[in-house]
Amino acid sequence: MVRRALLSPPVLISLVVLLVASVLPLYVSGYVLGLLTIAYYFGVFSMAWDLLFGFANEVNFGPSFLIGLGAYTAGILDNLYQPPIALSVAAGVAASMIGGLVLGLPALRVRGPYFGLTTLVAVLMLQNFVVVAAGLTGGEIGLTIPDVISINDKVNYWIALGFMGLSGAILYGLSRSPVGLILEASGQDPVQAGALGFNVTKHKLAAFLVSAFFSGLAGALMAFYLGAASVGTFIDVTVGVQVIIGAVIGGRRTILGAVLGAVFLVALGESLRPLGDLATFIVSAVALLVVLFFPAGLLGMVKGVREAT
Amino acid sequence: MLLWQILIDGFAISSLYALGATGFTLIFGVTGVLNLSHGAIMVAAAVAAWAASGNMGAGAYPAAAFGVAVALLLALATYYLIVRRLQLSRAVREEEKEIFILTATLLWGIMIQEAIAWLFTNNAKTVLPIVDGVVTILGVRTPANEIFTALVCWATIGALWLFVNRTLAGKAVLAASMNPRGVTLLGIELSTVYVGVWAIYGALAGVAGVLLGMFLGVSSYSAGPLTASAFSIVVLGGLGSVSGSLIAAYVVGYLETLTAYLVSPAYRAIPALLLLVAVMYVRPRGLMGRR
Amino acid sequence: MAAPKLEVEGLQKRFGGLPAVKNVSFSIRAGEILGLIGPNGSGKSTVMKSILGVERPDAGSVRVDSREVAGLPPHRIARLGVGMVFQHSRPLYRQTVLENILLGLLPDRLMDVLPTAATDARARAIAERVGLTGVLSRRPATLPFADLRRIEIAKAIARDPQVVLIDEPFAGLTARETASFARLIAEMRADGRAVLIVDHNVKSISALVDRIYAMHVGEKIAEGTVDEVMANPTVRKVYLGGALETAARPEASFGDVQTPFLEIENLNVVYGKAQALENVSLHVHQGEFVAVVGLNGAGKTTLFNAVSGLVPYTGDVRRQGRTLSGRTAATIAREGIVQSPEGRELFGAMTVSENLDMGGHRLTDDARAERREWLFDLFPVLKERQSQTAATLSGGEQQMLTIARALMMKPDLLILDEPTLGLAPVIMEQISKALARLRQKTEMTVLLGEQNVTFALPHADRVYVLEHGRIAWEGDPSRFATEAGARYL
């Protein structure tokens, strides 16, 4: 099963794309590299979200809760004590995973729309906390992070690309592995999964933690890339919306599609920048059209054609 | 003195919240949709009224009516273009329809919000008030506008109650919220009921939006927080329960007013949020929730 | 002698205030098949869920191989040796058949879950046993219904369970597929497993089971061999009713012989992959009272839902010569074909009067009041309870309200779906009287779907027997007892 997955077309195509992407810095301006760097981090956010939604069938309306925890914890620590960057990042990941646990435990007990509501409330709470505890977090103005991983945009690009590639490999591999199979069964029909001997709660909670791990890690790394953290870039509901839409447009339940969707959104937003305020309008309109008319998403459509034959 | 001021201010704000939440919960109770473009529709109504009296020189009443009409149109558009399309879609599995509709209404709301910002800038605007001047109640000088707001809110809610409990069409709406299949079996087209409910929702959101515009003013940035507060109130009161939303609206409204007066306006949203978290943990179905 | 593999003792379960299972006890030894039968609402599903751990019993014990499992979570019970074949197939559509079967063999761990060569071989062996070798690399969407059911069986026996529960094993299968599945289940018995089959009707499983445990309204009404249980008078009463009376009017006496009021021609309904109705044709004359009898799951509700426009179908349904296909369900109801559905579909928070008024929503106020009075006369208990909310009524009162509400619409054709399901004999009497009055005093056309033949036959002018989605017999009520009755159970 795993062996077959390793040599499947999606993987091979992904490898080719990664290869092409890694030589881009030689041909493309620093500005574009910067955009793509952000896009890659968002790709990881969306992939982590897709694991939870596409497989465990849990809709997380506040991915920015986990992302924000990772980014802000790392940023605050760096501000206060200036430890080695790796330590701050690790702390950010830990915070995000604890947040995932706190969110996941009660959320798994409730059904229907209440789980989504709980996740949304978590984001609102974090947002308010950051604003209120301005002394620690920089409030609405934001937090400046003194250390950066690198100032060379090529290096930052490669770090982001490498991180995304590795995360994608792990998440995709997980989704195609037997563990992913169990997770999918748990999400699709928890009663049947239980009757087959699987502890559904345990598996879903594990999925939460994995999702939190990658969200927090990507959030912390992105914070160190930007050298700043603010509510608008990491916690706001619109950030969560972008993550979700990236995954949905790319094709839910594919993991790899999430990256496609994230890059597409960033590219679209960028190309429309000259239009000023209208840009957000058009991006939302395009996203809405995809949701209404192509719910399977970009990659989903391709897969659909393949599986029907 | 302060106590009366808090009481009156809180009452006005709560009444406004109540009207907005009633519409939101009506749509959820009958059609099962959590409309995340709610705040945007309210803002659109307010801005339309502002534009009518400002740019087109209309009087206060016609401008307000225009605002409500715009909200009505947007609500119907939301139903026809988005909700209905997704509900009938065969490309989406039943279990996933809810999140697709949520995401779609969220995007639609953002679109409306951004369109308003692009057409009219994102500065705050105040709608021309229908009622002017100051009134003194219990020793407190209150803008007459505030009293007007509370009165209109309650008149609207009262009209809704009469409609649902005393007219056949209203009872059909109530029946549809209890058992859609039963309504079909009695020869009433569900699609007609749904169109009617969305139209009523549009009117409710429109009135609430215009009143908010007169009372506190709006900007395109208000859309998100408005949806969030309607959402929190409805969850607190219990999804699908109109009476629950009314009670919760007053709880939230007074919590906010108390906090703004006694602690600081910056923190006004916090206690309500804490209450929401507590409710989510202890009693997720809210005060009087059914579903 | 070894202890039984599965022992259920004193099982009790309530939902809200209503008891679903009251004191159920039985045991199954290794190499034995027990059939748990009962109509809808008898509690058999709750018993099954209690054994699986999906429901926690309020009292009583469930022992698997002498080990107490009541109250344990489902995945622990499954690992202790209980396998379940669910009624509805839910395979993972993006995985192959082999991968679906492998799912049943994986350990419940978060890591180190890679399938070994041994588990792969075992999965293939199981596939061969159930007859899936040819399709191992295919995906479920491309497979016929019977193969999907085979996947469910394979998953259930993958870990070699001591106890196997099977829910409605033959639903949706053709005769030949049923025979092959019966062989598979018999093999389970030969393997020494304890098998519990849960089903609506005895006939389909009678050849397979060693013993039967019959339930009704939460408790046991009979236990023993197939013959013993079938001869049991209480069982016969529940399923067949009792002595059969008839009072039919000849078909020729109805005016519209050429174009009957309602004509159904070659009706086919498919749910997913399962054939719910196959080439059903029947007709009803104006003023006639036609009964469609059949056990739960035979397809009566599907048939009525097709006529009412609530489910898609192929074939034709015509009213007075004009086809109904393409008309919305609400239009069909408005134009006079009204259902009193099996699920009742009342407006729970509204009072009896309000429910009736909803039914008469298209009448003038006077006409509505008059019609309501007529219905209160037909069902006096509704008049007593007119200000009570529908949700607080008893089962029988709710059923009467459902029928009354349908009658408020002044139907040309009234479709009654299982009006007596789960009701006490006293209530059945009242409904029977009301139906008799309708038949004698009005020109109403009625299509009655019933499991209880004794209730249905005295009112019917003609009878159709529906079995596994097909019309098995059609004719005069008086001939029913001799020709169809014997095979009915």
Residue matched to tokens 């109109």: B242
- Nearest residue to B22 (alpha-carbon basis) of B215, B213, B217, B161: B161
Instruction: Give A179's contacts in chain C (Cβ within 8 Å).
Output: 110-111, 113
Of B178, B181, B188, the CB nearest to C348: B178
**Partners of chain A (3+ Cβ pairs below 8 A):** B, C
User: What's the pLDDT at C241?
Assistant: 55
Determine which helix (DSSP H) or strand (DSSP E) holds C317, and give its type and residue range: strand C314-319
Q: What is the CA radius of gyration of chain A?
A: 19
Closest approach of A188 to chain B, Cα-based (Å): 10
Q: Give the pLDDT confidence score for residue B108 in this predicted structure.
A: 93
In Å, how far is B148's CA from the nearest CA of chain A? 32
For B243, the token pair is: 């009476």
Answer whether C345's CB lies under 8 Å from B182's CB.
yes
Q: Which positions ≥6 away from C468 have C-beta within 8 Å? A: C298, C299
Nearest to B287 by CA among B243, B226, B227: B243
Taking the alpha carbons of C480, C482, C484, C486 in that order, is the dihedral positive or negative?
positive
SS3 C286: coil
CA–CA min distance A280, chain B (Å)? 7
Average pLDDT estimate for C125-151: 89
- C-alpha–C-alpha distance, residues C417 and C401, integer Å: 14
**Count of CB atoms within 10 A of residue A64's CB?**
31
What's the confidence (pLDDT) of residue A304? Answer: 63
User: For C92, which of A179, A181, A202 is closest by C-beta distance?
Assistant: A181
- C160–chain A Cβ distance below 8 A for any pair: no
Least Cα distance to A15 among A156, A176, A161, A159 occurs for A161
In this prediction, residues A200-227 reach a mean pLDDT of 91
Q: Percentage of residues in chain C with pLDDT exceeding 90?
A: 44
pLDDT on residue B55: 78
**In degrees rounded to 5, what are phi and psi of residue C28?**
-130, 130
B53-68 pLDDT, tens digit per residue, is 887 777 888 899 999 9
- Judged by a CB distance cut-off of 8 A, whether residue B102 touches chain A is yes
Please name every residue paired with C284 in a beta bridge, in sequence order, or none if there are none: C262
At CB < 8 Å, which residues of chain A contact C? 1-2, 177-179, 181-182, 184-185, 188-189, 191-200, 202-203, 206, 253, 307
Q: Among C336, C454, C346, which Cα is nearest to C399's?
A: C346
Confidence at C239, pLDDT banded by 50, 70, 90 = low
Q: Is B282 on the interface with A (CB under 8 A)?
A: no
Question: Which of C39, C42, C50 shows the shortest CA–CA distance to C11?
Answer: C50
Cβ within 8 Å, pair C102-A1: yes
Name C422's Cβ contacts closer than 8 Å, sequence gap at least 6.
C39, C40, C41, C217, C395
pLDDT at A305: 60
Give the pLDDT of residue A266: 85
Residue of C nearest to B166 (CA): C354
**Whether B91 and A296 lie within 8 Å, measured CB to CB:** yes
For residue C15, the SS3 value is strand
Residues of B whose CB is below 8 A from A241? 103, 106-107, 110
- Looking at per-residue pLDDT, the higher value among A54 and C163 belongs to C163
The residues pairing with C317 across neighbouring beta strands, listed in sequence order, are C264
The answer to whether the beta carbons of residues B206 and B72 sit under 8 Å apart is yes
Half-sphere exposure of C65 (CA within 13 A, CB side): 12
Contact B213, B16 (CB under 8 A): no
Angstrom distance (rounded) from CA C393 to CA C382: 10
For every residue of C149-189, DSSP letters joined together read HHHHHHHHHTT--SEEEEESTTTT--HHHHHHHHHHHHHHH
Q: Which residues of A touch C52 (CB under 8 A)?
A: 194-195
Paired residues of C389 in beta bridges? C351
Give the position of tokens 């009463």. Answer: C237
Residue C60: its H or E element: strand C59-64
Give the range among A256-265, C70-79, C238-247, C259-268 with minimum mean pLDDT. C238-247
| pLDDT (average), residues C369-381 | 91
Average pLDDT, chain A: 84
CB A121 within 8 A of CB A200: no
Residue A10 belongs to what H/E stretch? helix A9-23
Task: Report the pLDDT value the prediction gives residue C416, as an integer from 0 to 100.
Answer: 95
Q: Could you tell me how far CA A113 lies from the centroid of its own chain?
A: 22
| φ, ψ (nearest 5 deg) of residue A269 | -60, -40
Q: Which comes out higher in pLDDT, residue C339 or B7?
A: C339
Which run of H or of E encompasses C427?
A: helix C425-441
**In whole angstroms, what is the distance from residue C58 CA to residue C70 CA?**
10
Q: In whole angstroms, what is the distance from residue C329 CA to residue B58 CA?
A: 47
Whole-number Å distance between alpha carbons of C477 and C249: 10
Q: In this predicted model, what pLDDT tens digit does every residue of A1-45 receive, in sequence order?
A: 455 556 677 788 888 888 888 888 888 888 888 888 999 999 999
Q: Are B157 and B246 in contact (CB under 8 A)?
A: yes
Q: How confident is the model at residue B291 (pLDDT cuts 50, 70, 90)?
A: very low
Residue A147: the pLDDT is: 80
Q: What is the pLDDT of residue C487?
A: 60
**Shortest Cα distance, chain B CAs vs residue C398, angstroms:** 14
C74, C246 in Cβ contact below 8 A? no
- The pTM is what? 0.83
Q: Kindly state the average pLDDT of the residues C295-306.
A: 88
Question: What letter represents residue C210's amino acid?
Answer: D
Is residue C235 very low, low, confident or very high in pLDDT (cuts 50, 70, 90)? confident
* Sole residue written with tokens 């001591």: C162
CA distances to C185, C267, C417 from C144, in Å: 20, 21, 31
H/E run at residue B97: helix B94-120
| Arithmetic mean of pLDDT over chain C | 87
Q: Tell me if B190 and C330 make a contact (CB, 8 A cut-off).
A: yes
Res C191 pLDDT > 70:
yes
Tell which wins on pLDDT, A268 or C308: C308
Distances (CA, A) of A299 to A257, A259, B92, C86: 5, 10, 15, 33
